[in-house]
Amino acid sequence: MTQTDDQAVPILRNTQKHDVPENWPLSLLDADQLPKFDAFKAKARALLGSPETNDRHELESKWMSDLIIVKYMRATKYNLDYSLTRLEATLLWRRESKPESMDPSDVAGAAACGRSYFCGFDLNGRPLLFLVPRNSDGSKNYDEQLKFVIYNLEKATRMFEHGVSQVDIIIDYANMSMSNSVPLSVSRQFLQILGDHYPETLGLGFFVQASWYLSVFWNLISPFIDPVTKAKIHFVEEKVKDDKSSTTLTRYIAPEQLMVEYGGTCPYQFVFDTYWKHFSLV
């Protein structure tokens, strides 16, 4: 069956309008921390060395934006010595892994089955990253899958409009089982990469269409999730119960930005060739 354009083309550009504070991203800091920003920024940028001693100086200077510096300050609850240590560790990791120059062909295999893709934005302009573990091609190449995680996180930062600094992750657990799930060790690596090198990047996380396996997985993985991240995770129900542990996606996402199968009106359906063509332009 031939798809229409609306069904084939993912929403990868946000057209929703939002008010952004004039001094953003410094507006993310509270009144006590704002005066410390300039001093911490000077220490952070000193990690870059000079163009004569660091052949990645221009690239890293662009990466180390005010937003990145603010994120590392916030991620440690303003323990600035620890913030600097973590920022230096990420710089070393980026120098070794070079995520900004990852070749798309190296991760196309992991992308082809539709296990992970972007489409739409939430009410705050955050990109929506869908993880659909059941869309597995049977590959056990977990190194490639983790590379694709990094590739997606790098892409997400390019999708941020001014005033946006986070991404929402929607994990579809329908028809999940041990046979099509990733090992716990891989899930822990994902959480470590996200927490260590992309701090303050998760906006909200949603588990939808839960199968019996979700309760098993959650009991295994939740001890490795820090409390701040855990507080951002919601369990989605078609009808919200009285308790606060369940919610609906349309509380956070406009219907036209959310695919029909998740309660919205967006008709998008994943087809790799079309998706990859449009995603490569991000």
- What is the pTM (predicted TM-score) of this model? 0.91
Q: Where are the beta strands (DSSP E) in the chain?
A: 116-121, 127-131, 167-172, 202-208, 233-236, 246-247
pLDDT, position 36: 93
**Where does 105-279 sit in CATH, by number?**
3.40.525.10
Amino acid at position 261, single letter: E
Q: Name residue 214's amino acid.
A: L
Burial class (CB in 10 A: 0-12, 13-18, 19+), 88: middle
Say how many C-beta atoms besides its own lie within 10 A of residue 248's C-beta: 17
Whole-number pLDDT of residue 5? 65
Kindly give the pairing relationship between strand 116-121 and strand 127-131.
Answer: antiparallel
The first and second tokens of residue 169, run together, are: 């992750």
Q: What span, in angstroms and rounded, lies between the C-alpha atoms of 228 and 217?
A: 19
Residuewise pLDDT in 10s, the chain (282 residues):
456 666 889 999 998 888 999 999 999 999 989 999 999 999 999 999 999 999 999 999 999 999 999 999 999 999 999 999 999 999 999 999 999 999 999 999 999 999 999 999 999 999 999 999 888 777 788 899 999 999 999 999 999 999 999 999 999 988 876 677 778 888 899 999 999 999 999 999 999 987 777 777 788 888 888 888 899 999 887 544 444 455 789 999 999 999 999 999 999 999 999 999 999 999
Q: What are the residue ranges of CATH 3.40.525.10 in the chain?
A: 105-279
For the record, the structure tokens of 97 come out as: 């892994």
Q: Residue 143 to residues 48, 134, 146, 148, 262: CA-CA distances in angstroms?
A: 29, 18, 5, 9, 30
SS3 127: strand
221 φψ region: left (φ > 0), alpha (ψ -120 to 50), beta (else): alpha
Give me the pLDDT at residue 1, please. 44
Which residues 6+ apart lie within 8 Å of 207 measured at CB?
A: 171, 173, 214, 218, 233, 234, 235, 236
